[in-house]
Structures are given as C-alpha cells and as structure tokens.
Structure 1
Amino acid sequence: MNKSDLRKIYLQKRLSLSQVEWKSKSHEIVEHLKISELVRSSQTILSYCSFRQEPDLSELLTLPKIWGLPRCVDQSLFWHVAGNLRSGKFGIQEPDPDSPQINVSEVDLILVPCVMCDRKGYRLGYGGGFYDRLFSQPEWREKKAIGILFDFAVVDEFAIDEWDQPLNAICTESGLYSQLNH
C-alpha cells in the first residue's frame, strides 16, 4: 500500500476516536513521557500543537523546561518559545512570529507527531516533508527525537524512501519504546 493510502487510513482511524478515548490516550502518553529519562534529562524540548486529533501533549508544557513549538514558513519549520498562539499555515496553532526563537544548538529533544510509524522508528506524517527536511540538515540530524502516536498506528513496517530518517524512540499510550530495530 502506498503512503498516501496509508495516510488516509490512519488519519481516519485517529479521527474516529471519541473525545474521551483521545483525551485518555493522550494523558497516558504524557504520563509515559513525564517519567522518561529522555524528557527528564532535557532542558529544551520541541513539541507541537495537536491537530486532527494528534496526541495532545499540552499537559507536558507545565514541566519546568524550555518548550518550543513550530511555526511553518514556506517549506520550513521555525521554532519559538511556547507562548501566545495563533492559527497558522494549515489551520494549526503556532507561536506568534515575534516570540523568541529557539536556536538549534539549545535543543535537547524533539517530540514529533506521526500519522503512523513502524517498529524501526520510520514515521509517516502528513506528506509535507517538514520533518524530513529538518532532519536532513546536519545540525538537526543528531538531535534525539521521539515519535508520538497511538498504539493502533504502530505497524511492523511500510515502504520508506531514501530521505526518510528513523526516530530514536516512539511513545504511545502503552509506553515509550527506545529499543528500535534500526
């Protein structure tokens, strides 16, 4: 099955979750992240604003860390300190452009939204290539990254492209998995 078809199937599965299920599963993911060594040892963490029933990580922003959120500009992501949000490209909430930017050298960890992911850490996103382009840049390549998704969206494998970069770990409502088979 091609990526476009997989994307449609897994987005529909995610959108079919009831609000109660979505909130409960999101809360479980947050609880796993709170106790993870990757999160606890990080000072500056990049996250995202939930869109189309992605796992909601907003509870995490209460942890005493520097939190960054993305802003889409053309084909790139720019990271700003979490603060005042507004509707941006694609209708996704994003930081105000005047909020302080986060320099790549400060980043310890990136929490990456996924439509689906395989057990090796290869992710499928919305198809815009924003994270693929980010992780292809040398200064971002070595940053620790955790894919965030629900259990039903973790598969054994799917066809990947040569530009796809595996994540270091994935986190679902069942737990954090950092022993991926790269």
Structure 2
Amino acid sequence: MLNQTKTELRSLLIKQRRSLSEKDWKEKSDRICQNLKNNPLFQQATTILSYFSFRQEPDLTLLLSNTPKTWGFPRCVEQSLTWHCWQPGDANHTNHYGIIEPDANLPMLKSSEIDLILVPSVACDHQGYRLGYGGGFYDRMLSLPEWNLIPTVGIIFDFAYLNSLPIDSWDKPLNAVCTESKFIVSNR
C-alpha cells in the first residue's frame, strides 16, 4: 500500500467502505461503539468530540443515547473546525461538502473543556497516523498547542488498519485507533 499515493489509497478505501452492506456497516459500527464504551479513556471522559457519519464512516450514534457525557460535533468554518454541543434532537444541517453539522447557534466548546477526540478517518496505521479526506482540518487543529495534548482516537473498520501510510510533515499521529475488533494504543 505504500506505493500508492494518499489520493489513490483514499479512493480505494472509501470504495471498499461504501461497498459494505447496510447490515455489515451497522454491525461493525455497533461493535466499534462497544469497544469504545469498554475502554477507560472513553469511560473517564466527560466531554467528547465526535462526528456525524459521512460516506459510510463508522456510525457512532449508539454512543449518544442514555449517556451523561457532553458531546461536541464539528462545523467547517473556512479552513477550521468549530465545535458545538449537540445531542439527539438538536438542530443540524448539511454543509456544502455534504457533511451533517450542528446548528451554528448551539453552544460552542473550547479545547479546555474536551477530554477525548474521536477522529473520523479513512485509514490509520500502527504508528497512529491517519489518512483523512485531504482537507487538513484535523491536522491543522491538532497541531495547535491548545488541542495537541487532548487524547485522540482514530475510528475505522478493521480493513482500514494498515501497517503504514504515506505521511507528510504536517500529519499528526493519533494516540489510539478503535476498530470493530480492537482498541489499539499507537506505537510511537
């Protein structure tokens, strides 16, 4: 896979992810949620940043019900992400990328309030590097001093957990990766 560019790898893995049947996608997503729920990093967190599933990313909505946790979801604002408190029933809309976002009027969260960031990923590797969609939103955010000490977990399906990924100087490794079969602390 190292011989492929990020663009080629991204295309291949998104195609593979989108080929999952609805049943497989849901079952794998639910197992990811269970692996997260069983992990101390998740259990100890009170305020967690998550994402709305896009292009058949793992769906984490199972985590949102019957929980005392505060949830934050991103809005793309120019080249940055802003984070807003959101819970089921709150307003949201679809942005120009086709991604669901919380309503802009919902309360914003600051980095100092966050205990854990669940990072949507196309792929992750053993060193904790992730392949995103190429926009750099998470890499820019995680490179800022106020965000880079908050624990991060890449969320992917097993087939997207690779030995290594092509990386660039701006790529920021994650602390851990969660798939439907395991929770892995990164080797770095």
Q: 1:79 maps to what in 2?
A: 83
Displacement after TM superposition at 1:44 (Å): 0.4
2:150 to 130, 140, 143: 143
Q: 1:181 maps to what in 2?
A: 187
Q: 1:51 maps to what in 2?
A: 54
2:73 corresponds to 1:69: yes
Distance across 2 between alignment mates of 1:65 and 1:84: 18
Return the letter of the residue paired with 2:103: D
Contact 2:130 2:165 survives alignment (8 Å): no
Contact 1:66 1:81 survives alignment (8 Å): yes
Displacement after TM superposition at 1:158 (Å): 1.8
Contact 1:70 1:94 survives alignment (8 Å): yes
RMSD: 0.7
Q: 1:28 maps to what in 2?
A: 31
Q: 2:45 maps to what in 1?
A: 42
Distance across 2 between alignment mates of 1:89 and 1:129: 16
Distance across 2 between alignment mates of 1:158 and 1:28: 25
Q: Once the two structures are superposed, what CA deviation does each residue of 1:140-182 show, in whole Å capped at 9, x if it has no partner?
A: 011100000000001101221111111000000002111x211
Q: 1:13 maps to what in 2?
A: 16
Contact 2:32 2:180 survives alignment (8 Å): yes
Identity over aligned pairs, percent: 53
Displacement after TM superposition at 1:89 (Å): 3.2
Return the letter of the residue paired with 1:38: L
2:179 corresponds to 1:172: yes
Which consecutive unaligned segments of at least 5 residues does structure 1 have?
Answer: none
SS of 1:90's partner is coil
Which consecutive unaligned segments of at least 5 residues does structure 2 have?
Answer: none
Q: Once the two structures are superposed, what CA deviation does each residue of 1:58-91 show, in whole Å capped at 9, x if it has no partner?
A: 1111221000000001110000001321112311
Contact 2:121 2:130 survives alignment (8 Å): yes
Q: 1:3 maps to what in 2?
A: 6
> Deviating runs (4+, > 2 A) in structure 1?
none
- Say which is worse superposed, 85-94 or 63-72, in terms of deviation: 85-94
SS of 2:147's partner is helix
Aligned length: 181
Structure with greater proportional helix content: 1
Q: 1:108 maps to what in 2?
A: 115
Q: 2:100 maps to what in 1?
A: 93
